[in-house]
Structure 1
């Protein structure tokens, strides 16, 4: 793989960029403090802006690492941070990555997450030169699967009681796409 780190990406409505220290307020209010947003995630709902600040400080400290990919989703219309995308797991020996994401509830059901995901997929295949991208979701959160399908990933199967999130042990639906399929 061609490690490039968190480069700025742009779509019609979004800028995907590294997080900045001044994103704390937006992240806390737009998604990190929402139980609805974090319900199916593996990290707990933020209880204070200090928690959000420590997370962003950690992410910012890692941007010098070319193997680190942690994007802030910025809504062009209001210049607010509204969510995040990241490579959450990497299998270097097979050039494979797993993508994770979340977005504020005010921005659900508007095609924003799939728009961002398509651009991340393009970047990872065309510029990072990865061979496989995967993502997964709790089966009780089918809307996340809809995002994956809309972004071009294919359903590969369900793993029984294979993960733990804020709801407890859960079954996970796995989606994937290879560069060969993407290039068609």
Structure 2
């Protein structure tokens, strides 16, 4: 397995996505994200003194949005962003996978809505939900998903290629290949 395989897969995914109707892109991504939503749903600790919704309610809202039902996308996005930020602060790698899942779901919801959704000022200026090392939002989601679906904290592929102790690049590459196959067949 070569170090360049990962970026080549991202480029191939980006090229494939460009040929899709925007709705098809969103539907395809949801299929990749849906199996991970249970991670968010099962973790239902209170994140604020006045919660607007619970994790199960946010996941139900995502599922309804994917089914084309009307939802309060801004409220769901805000909750998912809160989950992502709260769980990313924990040192437990499992919590980072939950955080990354929440970020992916929030970014997906933004794609579905076709507009920016509120995060209620939780993100600092210039901070983004997704790593910006892929050419498009679609592939940024796929990049984060590859690491998340392989149960790892996100690592920039180049860093993992140089230092295998930072992350399991072969596992992330296998996940990226599997996602490519799932989307293109």
TM-score (norm 1): 0.30
Report which of the two has the higher share of strand.
1
Higher RCO, Cα 8 Å, sep 6+: 2
